[in-house]
Amino acid sequence: MSEPVARLLIELEDISPRIWRRVDVPTGITLTTLHEVIQAVMRWEYAHLYEFRAGERVYGDPFPGMESPLQRVYKASGIRLNQLIDRHVTNFLYVYDFGDDWRHRITVEDVRDGDPDTDYPVFVEGARRAPPEDVGGLPGFEEFLKAMGNRRHPQHAELTEWAGGGFDPEDIGPREIELDLAMLAEFRRRVRAGHKSRAKNKT
C-alpha cells in the first residue's frame, strides 16, 4: 500500500551560487525526522541545536528551564509534516546552529502517492556542497572558500588541514547522502513493521 509523499525543496538562504537539495519524504514523518533528513542531504553532523519556524509556531527540542518568555518552542516530535500541509503551511524555515545561523527555506513542491516498492525518504537532486560545521557563518564560509581556492592564500594550508584535506564546493556527496537516507528509510520501515506486528497480535 502506498503512502503520500511530499517533494521538498531545501535551500540555504543568503548564499550565491545556490546550495539546494530536493528530496521525497513521507508526509507522515515528524519534524524530528525531517531534521534528520535535512542533516543527511546537507551532510551536516548533528553538532548543534535546531528549530523549525512554521506559520506562527517554533518547533524544536525544548530544554526544561531554558524556555524563552517571548517564544514558546513546541516539540518537533509532536508535529507531522502532513499536519503542516493540512494547515496550508507549505513554506517554512529550518534553522541549524544558532551561532552560524544556517537558515534553510523548505518548500513543499508537490504531494503525491508514493511508490509502494520504494522506501522513503529518497534523494532526488541538488547542487553545491553545504558549508563545513563551525566555519563561522556566511562571512566565515566566504573567507573559507577564498582560502581553499587559492594555494597562495596565507590560510590555505591551515584550513585545508582543518577541513580534513580539501573541500570541493561542487561535490555534494550524493553517494553519502543516499546511504544516510537509506539508513533512515530502513529504520522507519522496521518501526512501521513493528507497529503492524503488535497491532496484529492484539487482534
Enter the pTM of the model: 0.91
pLDDT band for position 63 (cuts 50, 70, 90): confident
Q: What percent of the chain has pLDDT over 70?
A: 91
Q: What percent of the chain has pLDDT over 90?
A: 83
The pLDDT tens digits of the residues spanning 91-106 come to: 999 999 999 999 999 9
The pLDDT tens digits of the residues spanning 108-135 come to: 999 999 999 999 999 999 999 999 999 9
Residue 7: count of CB within 10 angstroms of its CB = 16
Mean pLDDT of 194-203: 62
Question: Residue 41: which H helix or E strand, with range?
Answer: helix 31-42
pLDDT of 31 > 90? The answer is yes
Mean pLDDT of 39-49: 96
pLDDT band for position 28 (cuts 50, 70, 90): very high
Domains of the chain: 4-130+172-202 (3.10.290.30)
Give the per-residue pLDDT at 166.
87
